[in-house]
């Protein structure tokens, strides 16, 4: 069953339930101003319906900004399933697929936390409006290498702005998180001659990455305070906060993690210390560009993705230039510049 709820700042909010499979979840469409709302499906053990609704509303708004920053003809949406991902069943996924199908293409889903390409294939048995598939004519597969390429491009733009050079040889980068994106980012940085200092809560991943990239391991609780020109948060959100910011020694923050700032005030804390912060949803937009090629059924995937990545770099350059001119945080400038793209056209 799919039931419409009210959400004053969003176009649509739906509760999705299915007694047979035990599915309970939500779908939020924040904005379809630029195109169909697109954003992943997350499964998480929320404490309450209120917590699930707050998450889906917040995440779908974030997708509007991420898609607009990447200049994609897509709006912002998101879906969540309440529950531990280990309790996921094909019946649950198919029920969510049927709910997505009833929205008739106003919302497109893909993977997020707790989901895999195999889960997307299950959903695809019930709806056309799903991306992030491993096989099929336009399948986009793992977005992480493209996300890493976008972060790498952004990092070079930031290096130029902060240190007046874009040559990475001899530059030290501290990378937090060596998962799908972090590892590929390390690969690109290593190839470009950067010196790497790495941390991950997973000791095996840390040892492997240090061997792969001739890198030094750091304490996972102190990686943010490493002596380096660049700090790259590529693990979890909220790592830039009132405790860590005073301890940072890098002059540039360029990473893939979503929601790196614990609060909006943390952008001001970074600016006050002269640390250049690259807005996360612009830096990590490569992943949604990769997925968009599947949603938009782009025939010439590689050149299309490359052109969109270039455009994302131009947007980052513009945001940093405006921020420098106004002596403002790039995070706030990004919200203003990208927010304008989401306003209804005059006339």
Residues in the annotated binding site for NAD(+) = 177-182
Please provide residue 118's backbone torsions phi and psi, each rounded to the nearest 5 degrees. Answer: -65, -35
The owner of tokens 């056309």 is: 128
With CB under 6 A as the contact rule, the residue among 16, 69, 189, 199 that binds ligand NAD is 199
Chain centre distance of CA 278: 13
Q: Does 176 bind ligand NAD (CB under 6 A)?
A: yes
In what helix (H) or strand (E) does residue 117 lie, and over which residues does it extend? Answer: helix 117-123
CB of 10 to ligand NAD, least distance (A): 21
| Residue located via tokens 């998101």 | 78
Other CB atoms within a 10 A radius of the CB of residue 214 amount to 9
Beta bridge partners of 196: 173
Of 31 and 239, the one with the shorter C-beta distance to ligand NAD is 239
**256 lines the binding site for ligand NAD (CB under 6 A):** yes
Phi, psi of 278, deg, nearest 5: -90, 120
Query: Can residue 179 be called a binding residue for ligand NAD (CB under 6 A)?
Result: yes
Distance CA 213, CA 198 (A): 10
60 lies in the binding site for ligand NAD (CB under 6 A): no
Smallest separation (angstroms) from ligand NAD to the CB of 79? 16
Residue (236 or 321) nearer to ligand NAD, CB = 236
Alpha carbon distance 61, 27 (integer Å): 12
Tell me if 174 sits within 8 A of 224, measured CB to CB: yes
**CB-wise, 111 or 122, nearer to ligand NAD?**
111
List binders of ligand NAD among 215-254 (CB under 6 A). Answer: 220, 234-236
The nearest distance, CB 20 to ligand NAD, in angstroms, is 32
The active-site residue, picked from 66, 78, 88, 156, is 78
| # of chain residues touching ligand NAD (CB under 6 A) | 24
Judged by CB, which is closer to ligand NAD: 223, or 320? 223
| Smallest distance, ligand NAD to C-beta of residue 142, A | 7
Rounded to whole angstroms, the Cα distance separating 342 from 321 reads 21
Q: Is 205 assigned a catalytic role?
A: no
* Residues 130-159 within binding reach of ligand NAD (CB under 6 A): 143-144, 147
Name the one range near ligand NAD by CB under 6 A: 122-130, 165-173, 175-183, 302-310.
175-183
Q: Work out how close the CB of 257 gets to ligand NAD at its nearest, in angstroms, rounded to a whole number.
A: 4
Least separation in angstroms between CB 61 and ligand NAD:
16
Alpha-carbon gap, residue 176 to 136, rounded angstroms: 34
Closest CA to 254 of 191, 308, 204, 181: 181
In terms of CB distance, is 40 or 330 closer to ligand NAD? 40
Q: Which residues contact 3 (CB under 8 A, 6 or more apart)?
A: 14, 15, 17
C-alpha to C-alpha distance for 269 and 253, rounded to whole angstroms? 13
Is position 178 an interface residue for ligand NAD (rule: CB under 6 A)? yes
Closer to ligand NAD at the Cβ: 144 or 226? 144
- Which stretch, 72-80, 95-103, 176-184, 301-309, contacts ligand NAD (CB under 6 A)? 176-184
Number of residues written out for the chain: 347
Q: Among residue numbers 274 through 293, which ones bind ligand NAD (CB under 6 A)? A: 284, 287
How big is the CA angle at 284 (ends 230 and 194), to the nearest 5 degrees?
30
β-pairing, 230-233 vs 2-5, is unpaired
Q: Is 85 in the site for ligand NAD (CB under 6 A)?
A: no
Burial of residue 51 (number of CB atoms within 10 Å: 0-12, 13-18, 19+): middle
- Using Cβ positions, the residue closest to ligand NAD within the complex turns out to be 179
Q: Which chain residues interact with ligand NAD by CB under 6 A?
A: 143-144, 147, 176-182, 199-202, 205, 220, 234-236, 256-258, 284, 287
Catalytic residue ranges: 78
């Amino acid at each position: 069953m799919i039931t419409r709820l009210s959400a004053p700042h969003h176009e649509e909010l739906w509760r999705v339930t299915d007694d047979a499979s035990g599915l309970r979840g939500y779908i939020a469409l924040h904005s379809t101003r630029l195109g169909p709302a697109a954003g992943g499906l997350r499964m998480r053990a929320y404490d309450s319906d209120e917590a699930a609704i707050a998450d889906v509303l917040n995440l779908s708004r974030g997708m509007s900004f991420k898609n607009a920053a990447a200049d994609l003809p897509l709006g912002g949406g998101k879906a969540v399933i309440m529950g531990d991902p280990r309790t996921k069943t094909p019946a649950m996924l198919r029920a969510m697929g049927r709910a997505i199908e009833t929205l008739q293409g106003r919302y497109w889903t893909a993977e997020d936390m707790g989901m895999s390409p195999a889960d997307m294939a299950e959903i695809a048995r019930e709806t056309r409006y799903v991306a992030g598939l491993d096989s099929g004519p336009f399948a986009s597969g793992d977005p992480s290498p493209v996300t890493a390429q976008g972060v790498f491009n952004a990092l070079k733009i930031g290096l130029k702005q902060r240190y007046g050079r874009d040559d990475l040889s001899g530059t030290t980068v501290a990378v937090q998180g060596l998962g799908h994106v972090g590892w590929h980012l390390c690969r690109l940085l290593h190839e470009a001659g950067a010196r790497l200092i790495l941390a991950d809560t997973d000791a095996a991943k840390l040892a492997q990455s240090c061997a792969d990239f001739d890198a030094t391991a750091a304490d996972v609780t102190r990686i943010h305070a490493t002596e380096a020109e660049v700090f790259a948060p590529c693990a979890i959100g909220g790592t830039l906060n009132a405790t860590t910011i005073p301890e940072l020694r890098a002059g540039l923050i360029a990473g893939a993690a979503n929601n790196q700032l614990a609060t909006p005030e943390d952008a001001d804390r970074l600016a006050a210390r002269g640390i250049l912060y690259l807005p996360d949803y612009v830096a990590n937009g490569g992943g949604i560009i990769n997925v968009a090629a599947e949603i938009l059924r782009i025939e010439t995937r590689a050149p299309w993705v490359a052109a969109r990545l270039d455009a994302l770099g131009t947007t980052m350059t513009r945001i940093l230039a405006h921020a420098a001119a106004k002596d403002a945080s790039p995070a706030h400038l990004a919200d203003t510049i990208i927010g304008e793209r989401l306003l209804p056209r005059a006339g």
